[in-house]
Chains A and B, each alone.
Chain A
Amino acid sequence: MTERSTVTTTPYTIGVAPFRPGDEPSFGGSFKEQPEDLGRPDPASCATEDTAAHAKGLIRVLTDDGEAKGEWDPNLDAETLIQGLEYMMRLRIFDDRMMKMQRTGKLSFYMRSYGEEAIAIAQTMALKEQDWLFPSYRQPGAQFVRGRDMVSMICHCIGNTEDNVRGRQMPVHYTWREGRFISISSPVGTQFSQAVGVAMASAYKGDDEACITWLGDGTSAQGDYHYALNFASTFKPPVILNVVNNQWAISTHVSLATGGRTFAERGLAYDIPSLRVDGNDFLALYSVTQWARERASAGLGPTHIEVYTYRAGAHSSSDDPSAYRPGNEFECWPGGDPVERLRDHLMNIGVWDEKKDKALAEKIDAEVMSAYKAACEFGDLASGPYPPASTIFTEVYETVPWHVQEQREELGK
């Protein structure tokens, strides 16, 4: 792992980012951890202490040369891998298009998943369709896996008449009941402990369901993170708790988020089996999630996962990372680019080539463009139409109470 950088001063120790604008970043080349370093314990009999090395180390499957190695190789067929690549490419192209829309005033706000595309996509693919998703704002890719229509997603981002949350939330705060994708909430971390409650209800009803949830390294300072671990440890429901350590919480480097060891190791103290995984390695992500799901199915309760990655883009469309980190930091990241790594692997095993890749990218790009145009048919940001003003007053309660009804009449719309 990257060592925490600090300066010792009086009277505190202050964490510092290893590199700031103007510095030449270096993370020491490639990861020293290799795919064959760590074995895959039997999920049905694994005790927390059996994961101590996994919490401290780094679970990888793809080598730097794009080969799949070691016990954690999920041995996925080519079709599944190509599907994963397709979802990741779709998310990246979708994000780029939406970001352009934001920059030209067609969306009020946007957040990309750049550099973290593998996470929600591989992890959701490793789950069952009845499993619940309690994401943060950088896991919209899960919706592609579950088959959400892009037109519907873009309508939400615009906030037009077909926005399923009726223009009530900022862009990227997706909600999708059919995909068991909970409504994204801006106060970060709140979903983490809620997910434990969802999983407790699944256990109570005896349903074969798990709940997966994600939050960031910065958010892991919130009480909700610790509530979640403690309640999960206490009641042992089928929940998969992921800390996406992408190094940056807006401008706050992970060195300021904790003075502790790896995020994964925190789980050990709660007696929750805990793994640390290369978040840019599609195969490793798929594999650890499948492992956690097997534990859930076996009635063994929670798994805690640190997803070690790098936030390649800005925090959001309102953020400018050039003010606080070197522009080329991502190029030096040992985990590389998750899309390129899976693509290289597929080429390595002979099921993918440049021509197929180009054709797929073009196909997705056309689909995104056409989805965008279709979404704008239901209203654009500049001129609408927007959801009717009456939607301000509906769904506050199951039925509209008198005082809300009076205010609606006062507005007269």
Chain B
Amino acid sequence: MAKMNMIAALNSALEHQLERDPNVVIFGEDVGYFGGVFRVTAGLQEKYGPHRVFDSPLAEGGIAAIAMGMGINGLRPVAEIQFADYIFPAYDQIVNEIAKLRHRSGGEFSTPVTFRTPAGGGIKGGHHHSQSPEAQFTHTPGLKVVYCSNPRNAKGLLTSAIECNDPVIFFEPKRCYRGPFYGDPHNVPTWNSHPDGEVPEEYYSIPLEQADVVIEGQACTVIAWGAMVHVCQKAIEDSGVDCELIDLQTLVPWDRDAVVNSVKKTGRCVIVHEAPKTSGFGAEMSASIQERCFYHLEAPIERVTGWDTPFPHTTEWDYLPSPERIAEAIRRTQEE
């Protein structure tokens, strides 16, 4: 075990992959010599060479297409989209091409591409460095969608994503790169003192499709992913309610059994995400939970999300689900 923040943990996952599989190549904007604007690929070019870890021209649509072609011809590319907000020039290549290649070619071609991309708010990034566009990809058959939340699962999930023969969109909550974010921007601890900052140095993987029960409880199920997992922890503490907290980790395919079993037990459910509410992945989960747990529900399913507006700059704390808003929703589920 070693103390790692999320950046070091992701770097470690990438390094193991470069070491284990000669067909793994890593590229994207600024990922080579400089090691990425968030430093996730730091040192990898120096160690593995510029043919395996390199800077690409600044064109997300080109990055996605190149990755697809490389994947068709036997490589296992890991492409970085510098901010999830910048993934949209690549949307056609991802949604129409990469996601559908296996199906539309009758299984004759496929491409095992992984797109890593920092997502989410809390860094004063305004509307173009803060979005969390997971739902734009969960609606695309053929893609797997993963959202890590801490150094331990970041490393294990990224390993599985790269090794997966299906294309994967891997979201990294940039607010949590250096420490868990509990909703208070003035008090962000480091991963150093957090149990999930203890990361095995050796290779390991965490299966996709598996949620993580972060806190066990009996009175209410709280479901979140990314940075919101930690905000929910704070909210649960503040609420004084005996909550079960589930970190979904993989959104497609999601661990419905873990969620359904928990909601059947608690009878109450709060879903939290920082993306806008309308057509957010919380809507899909809420509908599925209602289908499966209708006779167990003791209260309406609550959703606490970002607003249906562009992501703001200086007022981002009023945009992101706060511990207060989440705690209120938890309390509402407890009303008779």
Contacts and interface: CB of A to CB of B under 8 A. Distances in A.
A395 B73 contact: no
11 contacts: A164-B108, A175-B106, A175-B109, A190-B92, A193-B61, A193-B62, A194-B68, A194-B97, A197-B65, A223-B61, A397-B144
Q: Which of A177, A193, A396 has the most chain B CB atoms closer than 10 A to its own CB?
A: A193
A401 B258 CA distance: 16
A211 B62 CA distance: 17
Contacts of B75: 201, 204-205
Contacts of A209: 73
A398 interface: yes
Interface stretch (A47-55, A227-235, A312-320): A227-235
B331 interface: no
B298 interface: no
Interface stretch (A5-13, A181-189, A287-295): A181-189
B104 A183 contact: yes
Contact of A398 (B102, B109, B253): B102
B66 interface: yes
Interface string B188-220: 000000000000000000000100000000000
A169 B108 CA distance: 14
A228 B65 CA distance: 9
A111 B141 CA distance: 28
Given A197-B68, A204-B75, A227-B61, 10 more contacts: A165-B108, A183-B105, A194-B93, A197-B66, A200-B69, A201-B70, A202-B73, A223-B62, A227-B59, A398-B110
A131 B87 CA distance: 31
B67 interface: yes
A166 interface: yes
B296 interface: no
A274 to B, nearest CB: 19
B73 A396 contact: no
- The 3 residue pairs across chains A and B that have the minimum distance between CB atoms: A197-B69, A227-B62, A193-B65
Given A190-B93, A230-B59, A398-B165, A175 B104 contact: yes
A183 B109 CA distance: 8
Given A183-B101, A223-B89, A401-B253, A194 B69 contact: yes
A224 interface: yes
Interface residues of B, number: 44
A192 B61 CA distance: 12
Q: Which of A173, A230, A231 has the most chain B CB atoms closer than 10 A to its own CB?
A: A231
A230 B142 CA distance: 29
Contact of B103 (A185, A223, A395): A395
A396 B100 CA distance: 7
B160 interface: no
A193 B105 contact: no
Contacts of B67: 197
A403 interface: yes
A197 B165 contact: no
A53 B292 CA distance: 70
B72 A182 contact: yes
A177 B109 contact: yes
B56 interface: yes
B102 A193 contact: no
A176 B108 CA distance: 7
Interface residues of A, number: 47
B70 A165 contact: no
Contacts of B25: 204
A166 B65 CA distance: 25
A199 B75 CA distance: 11
Interface string B65-100: 111111111110100000000000100110011000
A168 interface: yes
B47 interface: no
A68 to B, nearest CB: 36
B46 to A, nearest CB: 19
Contacts of A401: 209, 252-253
A227 B209 CA distance: 34
Given A193-B66, A403-B253, A231 B57 contact: yes
A179 B106 CA distance: 15
A195 interface: yes
B328 interface: no
Given A204-B25, A398-B165, A195 B69 contact: yes
A132 interface: yes
B256 interface: yes
A204 B21 CA distance: 14
Contacts of B252: 401
Interface in A357-413: 394-398, 401-404
A193 B92 CA distance: 12
B248 to A, nearest CB: 14
Interface in A147-193: 163-166, 168-169, 173, 175-177, 182-183, 185, 187, 190, 192-193
A389 B109 CA distance: 21
B143 to A, nearest CB: 9
Nearest to A174: B105
Contacts of A272: none
Contacts of A201: 69-70, 72-75
A246 to B, nearest CB: 23
A202 B57 CA distance: 20
A91 interface: no
B302 interface: no
Contacts of A202: 73
A185 B68 CA distance: 13
Contact of B92 (A187, A196, A396, A397): A187
Given A224-B65, A231-B62, A185 B106 contact: no
